[in-house]
Each structure stands twice: as C-alpha cells, then as structure tokens.
Structure 1
Amino acid sequence: MIYLDSAATAPMRKEAIAAYAEAAEKAFGNTQSLHDAGSAAADYVVSCRKLWGQFLNVRSDGIYFTGNASEANQLAIRSLLNGRPTTCRQIVSTKLEHASVLSTLHELEKQGYTIDYIEVDRFGQVDMKAFEQAVSEKTALVVMQLVNSEMGAVQPVKECAQIAKRFGVPLHSDIVQGFGKLPVDITSWGVASAVCSAHKIGGPKGVGIAYLDPSIHWQSVYEGTTHQNGFRAGTIDVPGIVSATIAAKLAISEQPNSYEHAQKLQDYLLAHLPEGVAATGEVTTKSPFIQGLILPHVEGQWMMLDCNRAQIAISTGTACKIGYGEAMSAMLAMGTEPDAARKFIRISFHRETSTRDLDEFIQVVDHSLAEFTSSL
C-alpha cells in the first residue's frame, strides 16, 4: 500500500521497535517499586526525561509521560488552569485546534470559562491584532497549536507567548504535528506547556509527552496522585517511553533533511495537481508535511474510498475527528463554504514518501474525477 496518511500515524521505525523489545526485557520493573528491578526501570525513565529536555530545550524535571497526546493536552490545560487565580476565567484559542483540545475547551465552557476563539484568515493564520486585543490580566490561559492537522498552517507561537507573557498569562501549545519536522525551542519561545506524540514520529502508539514549565504554578487534576509528581496517575510504560525517545532522537537528527524532502514533495504535488483540485494553506509559510486538498465536484469520503481501493491511504482530516465532521470545523473557520469543506481530503508525508507515490495518487484522483464527471 502507498501510505499518504502520516499525520494520522507514521510507520514505526525499526530502531524504535528494537528499543521497545530491549527495554521490555531489561526494564520490566515498576518505577514506583523500591527494589532493584524498580530502580533499574526508573533509571531508564530518568535518562529519557533528560533527552526530551534536550530535544525541546527545557528543564527535564518538567517532562511527563502520558498514554497519548490527547490525554497530555487535557491534563496540561487543566493542570495549568488549576494553578491560575480563580478570578481568571477567560481562555483564548482558535477553532483550528486538535479535537482533544476543542473537546476540553467545550467542557471548560460548561464549567464557567469563557472561550474566545480568535479568527483566522483563509490560510489558517491567526489574526494577531485580534489576538493581542483579546488577551488581558483576566485571561487564564492561551491555547495555540504549532501546526494545524488539516492543512498544515503554522501559527506564530513564539509571538503569541510573548504577548501573553506581558499579562502573566501562560501559553499551552500542541506541537504534535511540528515536533521532529520543524525546529522547536520551547524555552526561547516562552511556552509554558507543550505536548508531543510518539507515534507521529515513528515511535509507538500509546505514549504522549507533556512539558510543564517547573517555574509556573500548576495543580494536579488527580487529587492524591503520587505518580510523576501528581501529573498523571498510573504505572509508567517504560518500554514505550524508551522507544518513543529513540524515535524522537532520530527524528531530531533527520529534521533538516526531512523538511527539505517534504518541501520537494509539496512542490511536485502542487505542480502536478489535476485540474480543479485546489490546495489549502499558504505554501510559503505552512508545514510541507501536510497537504489539504479540496476537490472540484467529489466528496472527500468518496475519494478516500476510491484511493483505498487502489491501495493508497489518504484521509478526510484528523483521525481523531472521524465521525465528528472531520475537517469541517477547521475549514469553516478559514471561511470555506460547507459544500466545499465536504470535498476536502488530506495527504501527509513521511521520510520514505516518494514522487512515484504521488504520481500514483495523482493518477487515481484524475481518473476518479473523470469517471465521476462522465457518470453525471
């Protein structure tokens, strides 16, 4: 199968698989246990925390491991809010956030928070003037993703964090689609918390990585929890964490070359798109790893199934949104008409994607569009 859905999950690296197997054999102990097996497992986790601190340029004592990035987003947002003054009840964000963030914000709204969704332009870029006007001393938290999952829009997280810091407001950023693909420096950006996902960079599923700035006050979501300084309850998955760390180390080392490869694939795709197919996002500023496309007269779901019959894997938006409008909320936020939004498909690249893969995809799309037109 030609795999063009790496934004949903990337193929697992052989090195990450080998690391998992080795850690599962050697570090099987519970990190909370006081015997030698527990201590050995805990040592692995300490080493992984140090490496993640280097990857993100942050203090290692602010690194926490979760069951996935969706959980990490929810815990980080709520933990930061628990540490904020009770008089601060406003949250500033956009409607381009990942489903795990949007669902959390929806729940918080029911709990009395006011959510200000800042508008974005047709390329998915946040309106910085409106953002600056929205943030104040009453703001509890700013939530701003780095890279959008549907079309790859990159937000000015550093600039947003600097504006928020003027009012003493922390900023949380979901950097899942950016880590290992774009340069990331959390400390220089001034971000209070950030979240990564192992399976987006060739690591295992079931491992999320969260960073919370140790200098910022936060309170646990789970009262009485002793694991990971109270951030998350439950036994730590040591083999998964080791595997995720190896995958991250490789992704970081390959990042410049991976980005250049993705740019070449993006240029090739845009130069060979079938007539009538429109690309979303601003090509000069977006992530080249994610390509959102709007078809001329065929619904995205239909094209996805047609590609699957040809053994080509694509998507109609973020995997976590399947069954809930998929990319609809993001497209509508960018000003796309509902009818056009239903014609949305997404392809995304990994290090082994080739122009030959794109040729196969383009051929299927071209044939499907022609076949659909002739049947009308």
Structure 2
Amino acid sequence: MKKRIYLDYSATTPMKQEVLDEMMPYFTEKFGNPSSIHSFGREAKQAIDLSRERLAKAIGAKAEEIFFTGGGSEADNWAIKGIAYANRDKGNHIITTKIEHHAVLHTCEYLEKNGFEVTYLDVDAFGHIKIDDLKNAITDQTILITIMFANNEIGTIQPIQEIGQITKEKKIIFHVDAVQAFGNVKIDVNDLNIDLMSLSAHKVYGPKGIGALYIRKGVKLHSLIHGGAQERRRRAGTENLPGIVGFGKAASLASENLEVHIQHVKTLRDKLIKGIMEQVNYVRLNGHSEYRLPGNVNFAFEFIEGESLLLSLDMLGIAGSSGSACTSGSLDPSHVLMSLGLTHEIAHGSLRLTIGDFTTEEDIDYVLQELPKVVDRLRQMSPLYEKVKGGQK
C-alpha cells in the first residue's frame, strides 16, 4: 500500500477516537430535543450544558458566555455583523488586517457596502501588525477591532495581549478569530481582554459543522438567527447535539494535552524547517520564525509553481496545501503572502505543511527525503532557474 502522510492539519484534523466514542450515543439512544421538558430532552440539555462548561473552562470563560454555531466562519460573521449593527448609534468604523481569513474580510467588505467604514491594517514581512498603526487607525467612530490570533496560512501569532490592552483602555470591542490558535496556544480571554472569540471543532480533532462564539457578558450584539429560544434566543434552531458533545470533548482533550501537543508538533516543525533550509536553495520561510503556531511550516520556493509541487507530493502520498483550504480553488496568489511583500511568482510557489498529533518523526524524514527531489525536478523545467544556475541575472 502506498505511503500516505497527512500534513494539512490547519485545513482540518481527523477526529480522535475518544471524541467519536462520546458522540455516538447521541445519534441513537440519547437523541432527545434539548428544548423538550421530558427525560429525553433533559438528558440532551445536560449534555449541551456539560460541553458549554468544558469549552468555557478551556478558554477561561463562563459557561453562559459560550454560544454554539455551525462553524468558525459563522462565528466570525455573527461577531462582526452583530456588533456592527448593534452599535451603529455609537459609530461605524471597524479595524482589521489585510491577512484575515476570508470569513472576516468578506464580512467587512459586505459591511462597507452597507454604510460602515473599514481600515485594513498592513503587516510587516513576517505577518505582524504594527501597534502604532493600530493606535493611529482608531477614531471616535471605531466600534470594533477584529484581528486573528494566529494566521491560518503562515502561522504568525499576533500580539493579542497588547491589542487587548489598547481596546480595553479605549473601550472598543475586541473580536478575535482563534480558529487556528485554539488548541495550539494557551488562551485566557480575561488575561487577553478579548470580548468575542470564534472557535471551530474540526481544527482540534473534533467534528466538522460545529463551532462556537465566546461573547463576554454585557457585550451587546444582534442575534444571528431568529426563531426559537435556543442559545438564549441569540441563535435559533434545534441544536446539533452530537456535534456539540464532540466539540466539548475535543476542547477538553485539547486543554488537558496542550503542553504535550505543543512540544510534539514544535519539535517536528523545527526539524522540518531546518531540513528544508539545509537541503533546498532559493527558499524563504513565510511567517515569523519565533511567534508562529507550533505546527506550521510555510515555504515559498522560487522557480516552481505551487500547484505542480502539491500534485507531485500527493503522488508520493504527502498531503499539504498552498494556503487556506477555503481558497484552494482560486488561481490568484494568496492575499496573505502578497501582504508580506512577495511577488506573484514567488507567492505562487508556496507550500504549507502543518503538523498534528498523529504526525511521526518517520513522516518528517520521508518528506525531507522526497521534497528536495521534487523541487529539483520541477526546477529543471524552469528557464529562469537555468539562467540562475548558469550565473546569469
């Protein structure tokens, strides 16, 4: 059987067996509607309450501040639109960055068409915002600052604590997309002064189709879906009971195993980065070398096309990506890499390999054995590379 190595954990993670085991009864014998008052319904509601408590504990929040959604993108949309429309009487200005996930960027673009003003902050060559740029962008009309905890493509971690301190002093609501960060870095919403935070289960070895939005008590925002009384009347609709149970278990495991997880993936990440840098020339590490997610590796290889690289690796059983899974069908270069100052040609030669709990050292050894050969073969087809090899500029 052909070797298969999965190195696309930022796109999605496999569900852990413990999570599946906990979910299974809620598809069959414990199937009650949580809104029903009979024993079947009470049993379902108790399971949701437990998951809410587990998720809250994992981020230092209160259970009543956790609201379940259909995923991270929905949570981003709800946070941004909900705050914008609920606080329109106070102002119409939002601040974000140019390297956010499209769930944030496209939501902000939508709001721009509906009377809101949005400032998109630049980042430096490593993907960091400049705190002075943020401070200078704030006006008396600023009602929301929405900045991701860690970038899904390049892994750069933003100075969230410093940003949170600014938003607290200025009394501006602070939303954080923590879909990639949760389960990979320690998060305490109170220490970081975060008012709203988006989460997703399938990034932490839980099920797909379930996410959550943390909403600090007292924060005013519009409801997402109107109808029944579910999620304290803020998101109507019968709850995804098995998904919520799975998210609760996955969040619990992520919190309990955080230090072990970080050490495991960081060790393999550093080995992969070091090996590629030593064996391949004309390569650039995208993102910050220190302030980055523990399992993220993102390289730009000159003189090759990223899609050819991905297909070649896939034929060898290695699964990676060129960036966000949400934009994998696009022919345009990554907006994140372009924001770092890369040219179109170099940005098109990017490769993201993300490491997880089930990655082994043997997996990394195999990648280091095969990747340099693939890069070299593809470069032999490049006239530009031939010129460089011949000493021409």
Q: Same fold (TM over 0.5)?
A: yes
Contact 2:54/2:249 (CA < 8 Å) preserved in 1? no
Show the counterpart of 1:182: 185
2:165 alignment partner, one of 162, 180, 189: 162
- Name the counterpart of 2:351: 345
Instruction: Tell me the CA shift for residue 223 of structure 1.
Output: 4.2
Partner of residue 208, structure 2: 205
TM norm structure 1: 0.96
1:333 equivalenced with 2:339 (yes/no): yes
In structure 1, the partner of 2:154 is 151
- Give the TM-score taking structure 2 as reference length: 0.92
Paired amino acid for 2:85: N
Matching of residues 288-367 of structure 1 within 5 Å: 288-324=294-330, 328-367=334-373
- What are the superposed Cα offsets for residues 92-150 of structure 1, whole Å, 9 maximum, x if unpaired? 00011112111111111111111101111000001110101112331021001101001
Q: Distance in 1 between matches of 2:247 and 2:55?
A: 10
Match of 1:281 in 2: 287
Q: Would the alpha carbon gap of residues 26 and 82 (structure 1) be closer, same or farther in structure 2, given more than 3 Å must change?
A: farther
Match of 2:93 in 1: 90
2:28 counterpart SS class: helix
Select the structure of larger CA radius of gyration.
2
RMSD: 1.5
- Whether the aligned pair in 1 keeps the contact of 2:83 and 2:221 (CA below 8 Å) is yes
Gaps of 5+ in 2: 383-393
Contact 2:50–2:248 (CA under 8 A) maintained in structure 1? no
In structure 2, the partner of 1:58 is 61
Alignment match, 1:229:
232
Q: Is the 8 A contact 2:8 2:355 kept in 1?
A: yes
Q: Take 1:86 and 1:299, find their aligned partners in 2: how far apart are those partners?
A: 49
- Percent of aligned positions with the same letter in both sequences? 29
Distance in 2 (alpha carbons) for counterparts of 1:374 and 1:266: 28
Q: 1:94 to 1:364 in 2, by over 3 A?
A: same
Q: 1:14-66 CA deviation, whole Å, 9 max, x = no partner?
A: 00111110232343111122222112111111111111111111111111111
Change (3 A) 1:230 1:82: farther
Q: Is the Cα–Cα contact under 8 Å of residues 150 and 327 in structure 1 kept in the other structure?
A: no
The residue aligned with 1:244 is: 247
* Residue number in structure 1 paired with 2:120: 117
Distance 1:58 1:140, change over 3 A: same
Contact 1:222 1:233 (8 Å CA) reproduced? yes
Instruction: For residue 290 of structure 1, report the CA deviation from its aligned partner.
Output: 1.2
Q: Residues 307 and 318 from structure 1, CA distance in 2 versus in 1: closer, same or farther, beyond 3 angstroms?
A: same
Which has the larger displacement, 287-296 or 304-313? 287-296
Length, aligned pairs only:
376
Alignment partner for residue 33 of structure 1, among 23, 36, 49? 36
Q: Secondary structure at the match of 1:188?
A: coil
